[in-house]
A and B are shown apart, each in its own frame.
Chain A
C-alpha cells in the first residue's frame, strides 16, 4: 500500500526514542579496552624495576627500526643499561615494530590511551615514566572496573 514505508520509518524512530541510548557519557564512564588494545609502550629495566624478568641493555635495535625515529637511546661505554631512553609520543604512531624487534622482550604494550599535554615537550617521556610499574597498571584496571560497575548499578536503578 502507498505510504506503508513511511509508517514503518516513523515506528522505528519512535521505538528508538524510547530505548536506551548506546553512547557512553565519556568522562564519567569509560570503555573497557581489551588486553590486546594498543596503547603506550612500557620499558622494563632491572635498574628501575627489580621484578623485571627481561632487561633492556640499551642495544638500540628499537631506535634503528623505528619508522618515525621517535626513540633515542644513549648508552655509556662499559655499562649494561642505557643512560637515557627517550620516546617522543608526539611522533609515535603505535606501530609496534619496536616491541617486535626487541631481542630481550624489554618493551611491552599497555592499554593506556588517555594522555594529554600542554605543549610538545610534555609528550617526550624518559625512562622513569616509561616504567609504568606493574602496580600502576593493576591500579588502573581496578579503577576502570569500579567505574563501570558503578555505571551498571546506576543503570539498573
Chain B
C-alpha cells in the first residue's frame, strides 16, 4: 500500500513545483513590464486587474489561441522539440534548489555541480531553434547565442568554486548553512560580481541579449516561432532569470539565513531573490546592448582572468587559514 502513496506524494510535489514555476514566470513578466515602465517615466500595464496583474495571463491565453505555423523546409523534429528542450534544464535545476532548511525536492551531496552541469543544456535548445528554423538569420542568431553562452559559462562556474572552497562542500544546503556568520558576498565581492554578470549573459538578458536583440532584429533565433512555442521560449527566459538569481542568493547572499524556520526561511529566501531580480531588471532598463566583439572581449579577457585570480587568491587564503588554525 505504501509504494503508491509515495508515488502520489512525489507526483504532488512535481505538480506543486510546476505550478510554482509557471506562476513565477507570469509574476516576473508582469514585474518586468511594470519596473521597466516606471523607470521610463511611464506606467506599465494598468487595466485588466489592479495595476494590470492579469495582463500576463491574458497574454499567455492569447498566445495559446494562435495558429501553429510550421514553415516549409524546416527540420521538423528539431523545430518542434526546441521549445521543449529549452524548458528541460530549467525544470531539472528546480528540483535541486533549497527554499529553506529541508524544503527541497531532492538533496544530494553534489547539487551545485549538478545544477551547473545541467545549465549547459540550454545552449542546445538555442542551437536547435536556430538550425531548425530554415532561416539564415535565425541560424546566425542561434550560433552567436551558443558562442555567448558557452564563453560565459566558464567564468560563472569558476567564480562559484571560490564559494565551494570556503564552504568545503558542493551541497547547496551545506553552503547556505556555512554562511551563518557572514554572507559570502562580503569576502567574495569579486566572485559575486563575476557570477552575477556571467549569469546575466547566460540567460540572454540585456545588455547581453545579442541573440534576441528585442528592438533591433525581429526575434533572433526564435523568429519562426509563433503561438505557444514562442510562449515557451519567452517563459523559459524568465524562469531562467529566477533560477539564476536564486542560485546567486544561495551561494553569496546567505539563502534563507538568518532564519531556519521553514516558513520564514522561504519568505526571506524569496525576498532576497526578488531583490536580485529587481537589480537584473534595473540593469536591463539602463544599459545599451553590447556589440558582439566587445562582448566576447569582456568574457574572455576580463571575466575569465578575474575569476581565475579570484579562485587562486581564495585557495591560498583558505589554505593559510587552515594551517594557522591547525597549528
Contacts and interface: CB of A to CB of B under 8 A. Distances in A.
Interface residues on A, range: 10 to 19
A116 interface: no
A73 B38 CA distance: 52
Interface string A59-78: 00000000000000000000
B117 interface: no
A23 B287 contact: no
Contacts of A17: 35, 38-39, 282
A14 interface: yes
Interface residues of B, number: 14
Interface in B68-102: none
B260 interface: no
B193 to A, nearest CB: 11
Nearest to A27: B47
B41 A16 contact: yes
Q: Main SS of chain B's interface residues?
A: helix
Summarize A's interface: helix, strand, loop or mixed: helix
Contacts of B38: 16-17, 21
A123 B82 CA distance: 50
A23 B42 contact: yes
A22 B41 contact: yes
B43 A21 contact: yes
A121 B39 CA distance: 44
B135 interface: no
A91 interface: no
B287 A6 contact: yes
B46 interface: yes
Interface of B: 35, 37-43, 46, 282-283, 285-287
Given A10-B283, A17-B282, A25-B46, 16 more contacts: A10-B282, A12-B286, A13-B282, A13-B285, A13-B286, A14-B39, A14-B282, A16-B39, A16-B40, A16-B41, A17-B38, A17-B39, A19-B41, A21-B41, A22-B41, A25-B43
